Structure formats: structure tokens, C-alpha cells
Copies of this chain bind each other. A is one copy, B any other.
Amino acid sequence: MTYGELDQLAINTIRILAVDATSAANSGHPGAPMGMAPFSHVLFNKFMKFNPKNPSWANRDRFVLSNGHGCMLQYALLHLFGYDLTIDDLKTFRKLGSKTPGHPESTDTPGVEVTTGPLGQGFSNAVGLAIAQAHTAAVFNKPGYDLVDNYTYLYFGDGCAMEGISSEAASTAGHLRLGNLIAIYDDNHISIDGDTNCAFTEDVLKRFEAYGWHTLHVKDGDHDLEGIEKAIAEAKTVTDKPSVIKLTTTIGFGSKLEGTGGVHGNPLKADDAKNVKVKFGFDPEKSFDVPSRVYEAYGETASKGAAAEQEWKQLFAKYKGEYPKEAEDFSRRLDGRLPEGWEKHLPTYKSTDAAVASRKLSETVLTKLYPIIPELIGGSADLTGSNLTRAKEAIDFQPPSTKLGDYAGRYIRYGVREHAMAGIMNGLAAYGTIIPYGGTFLNFVSYAAGSVRLSALSHVRCIHVATHDSIGLGEDGPTHQPIETLAHFRALPNCMVWRPADGNEVSAAYYVALTSKQTPSIIALSRQNLPQLENSTIERAIKGGYVAVEAENADITLISTGSEVGICVDAVKYLKDNHNLVARVVSLPCWEVFDTQDREYRLSVIPDGIPVLSVEVMSTLGWEKYSHEQFGLNRFGASGPYKQVYEKFEFTPAGISKRAVATVGFWKEVKPIRSPINKAFIQLI
């Protein structure tokens, strides 16, 4: 295949759109788009399978720009191919309310698969997308029906390569032998601090070889279109390993400052922008000026993509005739519908049932749902036996050659890689046929904070099974005992933090997590046994908060979560017996869900007239929102048997009662005592 003048024109059009958009915004990153334009031209026109008129076609190739600051590259491509992104959208790059924000957001722009920008995230998302493809193919493809055979193409730069999360994800991809993943490393020798020689001198390809990847090098990524095409073609032939193509490019190609840090994160100077246009044969006085021939050529590629989807639809129709059950399941998953009646399989408990650790209760839920919800794909960051995340009959997701499982397997061994696990889960969820959950200790969800944040921002349904959720883990000590973790994620918008107190609450947490298609969840679970509460039901708990112990003419409300709710229940008796005080208890397993209930309900749970004391064995930060006084742990924990640790910090009926007495006394003189539910104004949403 030879390339001609039209190819060069198209490549330069992409470059100039990046120059114009960053100039118009007076902000942004022109350098990477200018360097990566040649590769992108070849990849999108010769290899990638996509239909701009239907960005959600199930078998489309996935494209991930992990170096998301180069998003004008992606926006330019999406525009030229005819996605719903106009030239005016490019003109409003980085402007308020535009479809072209400063970094790619899957919720804002058609054709953007995952939200990237925070470096390394896209890398792990791409691994997730590739796992999802391999799994979906293994489950649904049939002889003669390659229903799912898409590739995932991933761009990453030096910044992504330096981030730990991409090391974790790359090692995982190598282990899993994901032949459907092709990564392109933009080797432009520049990061924000200047030449990568100042901090990044490792041999990147050798590192990827060590992970088990197939490696290639295109030495002249600026000009060698044939070499690029050959490399992609070769990568596609290697089906038992992921491939990485090191693409040596000149950042800001065409600019007076090409090859320097000067073109990385700032628009070109006005005279340089003109210089680039002249150099590329464009009118220096015009902006956003796309040659019609380029639109036509890219339109042809788009038409081929539309035709490919048509063909695929016919294949699917035939498949539906032959495999109606599978076809229905495939469609159901893509629609995000759960199997009819699945919720009837959630376990329920009576207060006479035995005390059980909530991590164990979670295992029961997962085991019950395993045969019912086939799109539920689990895993753990090397803590399977502690997180209890694996249904007994589960098969591991493994390359068949390992003899440890196969690609139809539904349990992923993430290794000790919390951050990549969460990033991979985001990719799994973005693929469309999978609901991922993954386990680690609550304390180590913090390692994954970068990815959890992007789950929330990009509205994907991931479930974090976060066990060993407090000082209740005991002997492992303060290095493993979360204090700040719940406050952290409660402050994160669009992320549900659950801390269930018993079996029904665990079922409720999963019910809401699974039915919230746009929101990730963190379910904090105890290591230690917890009693089943008298008043708990799934129906009550799915409101996020409810009255666990009601009392007439109460003096105080105790409000609590998880393992401390049972202790509060015991404190009710202690308070009556020792202080003649009447207490009621509220269980508040999920703040975010409780906040969405109507005011009347919330006030019935946390009523006016009596003070509220919160009880949770970690940071009190934020509990003022629901209580007048707070009992918590604003310090690190201690290593020892958990009951002794609880005693030490006075999380006992006596310790709670002491503070309840102080609370009642302290609030006597205030009239009226208003429930903290009452606020002067409503926050912006």
C-alpha cells in the first residue's frame, strides 16, 4: 500500500485543527496531536472498525487515548469521520458547556469510550476493554459466528509509561496474553519537565518484553506511513500476546518548536501557527479550514464502517435464529438490564439468625447471584480468601494455555495491583457486557483512588468489595486500619459508600449497587461477626438509612453504620438501665442514597426535638451532617485482638452511653433542637 498527497493533506488537517483549537481556547496541548497524526490517519482509515453514526455498535474497535491531554487529536478524528461533533464543537474546545472538554470525557463526547487525562488511567481501561472483549467472545461466539472480534487500540505517552498503574496493567495484560490489545507508545522524548532524559531513561520495550508483550518499533513515526501500516498489521497477527508499538515521533511536528517541551502544553504562538499552515500548504489567514477532499476521504472510511455494522447486524440476526437464548442474553446485557427476577435470589435474614461477618454475608450474595447474573465478573487484588469474593463454582479468567482457567471464566486474579484493578474494572464496565466487582481491603481502595474517581466521573457501574473495614480487623494494626477512607469516598461525588450492618443490609447494598447503572459503589465489610438486626429488611436498607430501634419519647438518637450499629443497639439497654435515658437507633449504611430520599422520610429517621449522636469507629469528618455530636476515631488505630482494640477506644455500650449522656445534657438548653436534616438552602447539583 502506498500513500499519496491526499494522505498527507489529511494528516496535516488533523495537525492544523489541533493548532487552531488550542489557539482558540488559548489553552491545551497541540504537540501530541501533531506528532500522532500520521499513525492515527493510518490506524483509523486502514484498520479500525467503527461506524460514526452509531458509536455504541457492540463490535466496534475500541480506541483509548491514555495521554488524554492530546484530546484534540481524538476530537479532530471524530469530527472528520462524521461523529456527532461539528466544527463548531471544535471551535469551543475547552469552553464552558462544550462537547470538547479539556480532557476526553465519555459522558460528553460521542465516540469517546472512556474518560482519560489523569495519566495511566486509559492504559488500564484499555486492558479492561480487551479482557471484556476476550470474555464476551469466549461466551458468545459460536462456530461461524465471530460476533465479537474487535480490537482495542491504546495510545500512551511517556507520562503514562511512568505511572505505576500502567505497569500494573501491562503486567496483567501480559500474563493474560491479550492478543486483542495493541498499544502505541508515543516515544517523543518530551514530558512537561522537558527531555525525558531527566527522569525516564529505562528501556520501555524491554520492560514490556519482560511482561510478556510482543514489541515493535516504528522509527520514523512522522513520515513512515508504510512502516506504520506494517507494524499494525504485524501486531494483529500476534494473537497470543498483547503488542506494543514504540512509535518515535516529533512532538509538535511542523512547529518552529517541534521536538521541544514548548509545544507540549501551550498553544503555538500566532506566528508559529501561521508558519505551520504555510508549511503544510494551508491558508495562514484561515482557521478551522478543512479541505473538502479530506472530509470526503474520511467519509468513505466512515461509510465502510457503516457497511461493516450493517453486515454485523445481519450476522447477529442469523445468530439470533440459531442461538436465540444467547442472542437475547447479549442484547439484555448491552441494554444494561439485569435478568428478570434476579433480586429474588438476594438472601434475607431474621434477627434470630447467627452473627456473621459482613464479608462472609457478601460472599453469600455473590455465590447466590453467580448463576443468576452471568455478566457479573469478579476478582480480587490477591486477597480472594480474605475478601471472600469468589463463588465456589467460579472458573478463573485465564489464558487457556495456563490450564488455570479460560477466557469464559468469570473470576479475575488481579494480583496485588489495586490501582490497575480499579482501572481495569472501569474498562470492563465501559465495554457494555459486563458488571465488574473487585475486592481488596478497604484501606487499600485508597491505592486505587485515581481510578475510583474516574468511575464516579464517567458514570460506570463498578462494585468495590472493601473488606476489613476498620480497627475490627485487629492484629494487622494501624497500617491496615482505615480511618480516613470512608470520608474520602463519601466526599467523592457520584460514588456510593455502603457500610452495611447485617445480612439484609448487605443484600440491600448489592441491590442498589447492581441497579445503579451510572454510579460506582464501595461496599465496606467487616472481618468480624455482626449480629442480625431486629428491624432490618432489604426494603428499609435500600433507602440508605432507617430506624433500627424506635422508641417513644426518646431522649437521643444514636446514628451509626456497620459493625457499630449492633453496639448502639446494646447501648440502648445500657442507657436505660444505667442512666434512665431512652435512645433510638438509626442505621445509615449509605449516606448518598439516604440523601436522595424525600425530606419527610429523612426527618422521620432523624427527627427534630432530640439530639443525635453519631457512632462510627473512624474519622468523624462529615458526620456533623447527620448528628449534633460525633463519636469516632480521629487518630490511628492499634494492633491487637479486635475486641481489645474496640475496648481501648471505648466503642462499647458503656463508652457510647457515656457520650450519649454528655450529648443529652449539652443540648438541653437549646430550643428548638432541629434535626441536622434541616438546611437553609439546597446545594447545587
Contact = CB atoms under 8 A, between A and B. Distances in A.
Given A491-B621, A493-B634, A404 B197 contact: yes
Contacts of A164: 163-168, 417, 419-420
A162 B650 CA distance: 38
Interface in A190-241: 191-193, 197-204, 206-207, 209-212
20 contacts: A96-B640, A96-B644, A101-B638, A103-B479, A118-B444, A163-B417, A175-B202, A191-B382, A193-B383, A199-B382, A202-B212, A487-B490, A621-B621, A629-B679, A634-B685, A659-B681, A666-B679, A667-B680, A669-B672, A670-B672
A453 B484 contact: yes
Number of copies: 2
Contacts of A531: none
A199 B175 contact: yes
Nearest to A69: B476
Given A484-B491, A662-B681, A478 B105 contact: yes
A663 B680 contact: yes
Given A175-B201, A483-B491, 15 more contacts: A25-B475, A94-B477, A96-B638, A96-B640, A98-B639, A102-B480, A105-B478, A115-B479, A117-B477, A119-B416, A162-B416, A162-B417, A164-B168, A447-B450, A454-B479
Interface in A465-504: 474-480, 483-484, 487-494
B672 A659 contact: no
Contacts of A160: 416
Contacts of A629: 679-681
Which of A117, A199, A679 counts the most chain B CB atoms within 10 A? A199
Nearest to A174: B202
A415 B191 contact: yes
A414 B200 CA distance: 9
A450 B446 contact: yes
A528 to B, nearest CB: 13
A641 interface: yes
For the complex of A and B, the 5 pairs showing the least CB-CB separation, nearest first, are A164-B164, A96-B640, A624-B624, A666-B680, A101-B639
Nearest to A618: B491
Contact of A632 (B105, B212, B683): B683
A192 B416 CA distance: 9
Given A96-B648, A475-B25, A640-B97, A621 B632 contact: no
A599 to B, nearest CB: 14
Nearest to A683: B634
Interface in A308-367: none
Nearest to A403: B197
Nearest to A492: B484
Interface of A: 25, 27-28, 68, 94-98, 101-103, 105, 115-120, 158-160, 162-168, 171-172, 174-175, 191-193, 197-204, 206-207, 209-212, 380, 382-386, 396, 398, 402, 404, 413-417, 419-420, 443-444, 446-447, 449-450, 453-454, 456-457, 474-480, 483-484, 487-494, 619-622, 624-625, 628-636, 638-641, 644-645, 648-650, 658-659, 662-663, 665-667, 669-672, 674, 676, 678-681, 683-685
A382 B490 contact: no
Given A164-B164, A457-B478, A622-B622, A193 B118 contact: no
Nearest to A659: B681
A492 B484 CA distance: 5
A159 to B, nearest CB: 4
Contact of A415 (B162, B206, B416): B162
A463 to B, nearest CB: 19
A171 B175 contact: no
A421 to B, nearest CB: 11
A683 B635 CA distance: 9
A102 B477 contact: yes
A9 to B, nearest CB: 30
A168 B163 contact: yes
A527 to B, nearest CB: 11
Contacts of A483: 491-493
Contact of A209 (B101, B167, B206, B494): B206
A476 B162 contact: no
Contacts of A478: 101, 105, 457
A424 B640 CA distance: 29
Which of A103, A415, A453, A628 counts the most chain B CB atoms within 10 A? A415
Contact of A385 (B166, B192, B384, B680): B192
Contacts of A415: 162, 191, 193, 199-200
Given A683-B620, A683-B634, A475 B670 contact: no
Contacts of A201: 174-175, 212
Nearest to A386: B192
Nearest to A493: B635
Contacts of A625: 621, 624
A31 to B, nearest CB: 14
Contacts of A420: 164
A419 to B, nearest CB: 6
A206 B202 contact: no
Contacts of A457: 478-479, 636
Contact of A380 (B193, B207, B679, B683): B193
Nearest to A446: B449
Contacts of A641: 95-96
